[in-house]
Amino acid sequence: MATERSRLFIPALAPLYAALSPIALPLLRVALGIILIPHGCQKLFGWFGGAGFARFTQIFESIGYRPGAMWVTIVALTEIVGGICLVLGLFTRAASFFVFIFMVNAVWFTSAKGFFWTAGGSEYSWLLLAVSFVFLIRGAGDYSIDQKMSKEF
């Protein structure tokens, strides 16, 4: 039976892979949260070059999401609160569920523009959808508040 080390093209990297393995899932979780938070802040507060709440309300209304203010609030809070929860590893499966649902809608909406994000397409949404699905299934992993609690979703 082949060992993990014998399966590697560069067996000398096995100790590095083993050492970094415990931080891989937390790193991905934090990255997802850090990506989501500023997008929510753009919608709610107009930070980071965002259009702000009033303009996003108009945008949402123009694409058929009525009432626009309610949908902007839901999306922005999903991004901000969900992003913070992901960074902390708190209620990770619940946060991932809401992000997953949001990304299903984002894939549907952006797919009309094709696949590539450079044309406003869906590839970025597909990536966030897949990453949120990983955390929905796997949970927060190491270095999370969820891991320290007696129960998790």
Domain ranges of the chain: 24-140
Q: How far apart are CA 104 and CA 99, in angstroms?
A: 9
Binning the chain into helix, strand and coil, the percentages to the nearest 5 are 75, 0, 25
pLDDT tens per residue, range 22-80? 999 999 999 999 999 999 999 999 999 999 999 999 999 999 999 999 999 999 999 99
pLDDT tens per residue, range 67-110? 999 999 999 999 999 999 999 999 999 999 999 999 999 999 89
pTM for the full predicted model: 0.91
